[in-house]
Amino acid sequence: MENKNIKLNDDIVLDHDLLKGPRHLSFDEKRILATRVMKKHGVGGVTLHWVNAISWFLLIFTGTALLSASYLQFAPAWYINMMDGIFGTRGAMLHFHIAVGVFWVTTLLLYGIFGYKNYLLDFVKHDLTIDKDDIRWFPAKAKNLAGKLNHYEMPPQGTYNAGQKAYAVVVAFSTLTLMITGPIMAFHIGSTTIIQWSMMLHFVATMSVFAGVFVHVYMAALFPEERPAFFSMITGKVNELYAYLHHYKWWTEIKNEEHAFFAEELKKDGIDLPALHDCKNIANHQVNSKVYDMNGDEL
Amino acid sequence: MSKYAMVIDMDRCIACHACEVACRSHYDVPVPYYRNWVHDLRPEGVYPDIKKVSYVGLCNHCDDAPCVKACPTGATYKRKDGVVVVDKDLCIGCGLCIEACPYGARYIDPVKEKVDKCDFCIDRVEQGVEPACVATCIASARIFGDIDDPNSKVSQLIANGAQPNVSSKVNVGPNIYYLDSHNHFPVVQAAFPPKVPNMPTPQKMWTKVLRPLFWLAIGGSFLGQLAAFSTQLFKGESDIKE
Ligand code: HEM
Ligand code: SF4
Ligand code: SF4
């Protein structure tokens, strides 16, 4: 930003009390929050999510059909026959499964190695660590689904709510297990005992993720309340009303970061911005009437 | 349709191991493994009344083959002509078939890291040539043929009393028959009884505990979400902005 002529616009009705705890919003506040957006996922995260999700579906579709010995078999026989028909031979299906698996592991390793600092560490430390609010969230969510508790009474949540965190933790452990057991089976590494245990762990890891995926997909793609989250996995952005209601702790964090960013920018121009809690409004930050988010991206 | 089988004539076998060597060289079988073996038992009895017995063995191409059932990928399967073969493309070297085989007929090839065993030299048989061990045997102690054909030599020998190596505990329909008139076969059976197919611990855990658990979990979560979605469709969606 070359032009440091930053001004806080003051026609905003959002007062800083919003930062003190989730509360019932007035119609105006809702309207304003609903029209503003915040960045939730970066391009890296969105790409990884979809590459990962597509790989998982391909791997589950072929993997469950490869598991055909009756004492191990998971999928019904008609499904296995259908997949055999699609691929022609078992060998072709196994090679496809291994090829997708190798591609998937490579993608994750690249993400883990090159994105270690910027993405992975941040995701694990910031997004996945569990706190007291997360533990209180589970019973509260049950009541909320039963219609006995509204959003304002729910324990405030961070970037991800406790349910999402729990699923992400299951996915993370399963992913590690699969990244190790897959190659052991595909490339016959180690003794037969190692391969036999790998096989069992491979199934367990897969099925743990599989068991949660219906909830995950329903909540993300079909459940109306979470619809902004679905679009955030495409555009990277969510509206602030959703963030305020569902991810209150994350919302305040972003507000504080934004404020700190602008305080610093204004300081360079010799303007002292009062501390956030002393500001009259939680305002949009405008530069020459353009609105920027905390990353300096134009909204 | 033919169904292949082999008869070992113990009366004729002189335990020269030529069949074992022929097989080893034909298929590059590394020591200490065998696709086909002659195990010499210690001589029994007191001179001049001595019994020297050898166990001539190979895959029994069992009718109810435990190895076929154990194989998770379908790499091991039984052909229509009765020959049990391994599709090397599909084998992951897990060794579950080895645990299941009552006759110790399988091994993991240390170089290819895949399982290997006797396939009745099916490539040769399909070209009209006898299996390598049969062609090599100087005493004609191995007779290979089709037991679906009642006039074949094997069918006749079986009718004359050749018996498979089965026990009261394990009978999986083996297709190697032993002809013996000197009471040598019971000695072999006592020394090498077919063993009960074994399933390793992780597979037992999966089959007995984990698989039913995951069926419940996956079925439950699918039905739960289906119910939630149906209710949502039925009720109509409420506005997020309230
Ligand atoms: C059609 C399928 C899928 C859809 C529509 C979908 C949608 C989403 C959305 C919208 C988010 C963001 C949630 C938020 O920002 O609040 C998300 C996060 C995530 N997704 Fe998916 N997803 C799908 C498949 C999968 C699969 C197959 C996996 C795993 C193997 C997966 C693993 C994750 C993980 C670990 C996260 C991070 C946070 C969390 O656990 O919710 N997703 N997904
Ligand atoms: S002898 Fe062993 S390897 Fe051969 S068919 Fe029977 S169980 Fe399978
Ligand atoms: S080692 Fe190969 S043939 Fe034997 S059970 Fe495993 S995959 Fe099947």
pLDDT tens digits, A122-131? 888 888 888 8
Query: Does the pLDDT of residue B128 top 70, yes or no?
Result: yes
Q: What is the pLDDT of residue A289?
A: 43
Alpha-carbon separation of residue B13 from A20, B16, B50, B143 (angstroms): 94, 8, 16, 12
Where residue A5 falls among pLDDT bands split at 50, 70, 90? Answer: very low
SS3 per-residue string spanning B168-229: CCCCCCCCEEEECCCCCHHHHHHHCCCCCCCCCHHHHHHHHHHHHHHHHHHHHHHHHHHHHH
Q: What is the pLDDT of residue B119?
A: 97
Query: Does the pLDDT of residue A297 top 60, yes or no?
Result: no
Nearest 5 degrees, angle CA B65-CA A61-CA A49?
145
**Mean pLDDT of the region B87-100:** 95
Q: What is the pLDDT of residue A269?
A: 74
How many angstroms separate the CA atoms of A204 and A19, rounded? 43
* CB-closest option in B203, B217, B228 to A72: B203
Taking the alpha carbons of B86, B87, B89, B90 in that order, is the dihedral positive or negative? negative
**Mean pLDDT of the region B82-102:** 96
Q: What is the pLDDT of residue A42?
A: 86
Interface with A, mutate which of B206, B232, B234, B238 (most A CBs under 10 A): B206
Looking at per-residue pLDDT, the higher value among A216 and A151 belongs to: A216
Q: Mean pLDDT across chain A, nearest whole number?
A: 84
Q: What is the pLDDT of residue A187?
A: 93
Q: What is the pLDDT of residue B135?
A: 96
Chain B residues in contact with A225 by the CB 8 A cut-off are 240
What pLDDT digit, counting tens, does each position of B35-71 carry? 999 999 988 888 888 888 999 999 999 999 999 999 9
Is the ipTM above a cut-off of 0.95? Answer: no
**Mean pLDDT of the region B98-109:** 97
Looking at per-residue pLDDT, the higher value among B242 and A253 belongs to: A253
Q: What is the pLDDT of residue A3?
A: 41
**Mean pLDDT of the region B166-194:** 95
Distance from residue A166's CA to the centre of ligand 1 (Å): 12
What pLDDT digit, counting tens, does each position of B189-201 carry? 999 999 999 999 9
A–B CB contacts, 8 A cutoff, strictly below: 119
For chain A, give the percent of residues with pLDDT over 70.
85
Contact between A223 and B230 under an 8 Å Cβ cutoff? The reply is no
Q: What is the pLDDT of residue A13?
A: 55
* CB-closest option in B200, B211, B218 to A211: B218
Q: What is the pLDDT of residue A286?
A: 46
Q: Which of A275, A297, A272, A277 is nearest to A285 (CA)?
A: A297
What is the position in ligand 2's atom list of the atom closest to the CA of B84? 5
Query: Does the pLDDT of residue A138 top 80, yes or no?
Result: yes
Chain B residues in contact with A70 by the CB 8 A cut-off are 69
Distance from residue A258's CA to the centre of ligand 1 (Å): 27
Q: What is the pLDDT of residue A7?
A: 47
Nearest residue (CA) to ligand 1, atom 31: A53
Where residue A268 falls among pLDDT bands split at 50, 70, 90? Answer: confident
Q: What is the pLDDT of residue A176?
A: 96
What pLDDT digit, counting tens, does each position of A160-170 carry? 989 999 999 99
Where residue A141 falls among pLDDT bands split at 50, 70, 90? Answer: confident
Residue of B nearest to A71 (CA): B207
Residue of B nearest to A195 (CA): B94
Chain B residues in contact with A209 by the CB 8 A cut-off are none
The owner of tokens 């965190």 is: A165
Residue of B nearest to A244 (CA): B241
Q: What are the residue ranges of helices labelled H in A3-42?
A: 27-35
How many angstroms separate the CA atoms of A90 and A84, rounded? 6
Backbone dihedral region for residue A254 (phi beyond 0: left; psi -120 to 50: alpha; all else: beta): alpha
Q: How near does any CA of chain A get to the CA of B168, in Å? A: 24
Which ligand lies nearest the alpha carbon of B120? Answer: 2
Query: Does the pLDDT of residue A294 top 60, yes or no?
Result: no
Quote the pTM value.
0.87
For A34-48, A214-228, A263-277, B113-127, which range has the lowest pLDDT when averaged over its residues? A263-277
3-class secondary-structure state, position A298: strand
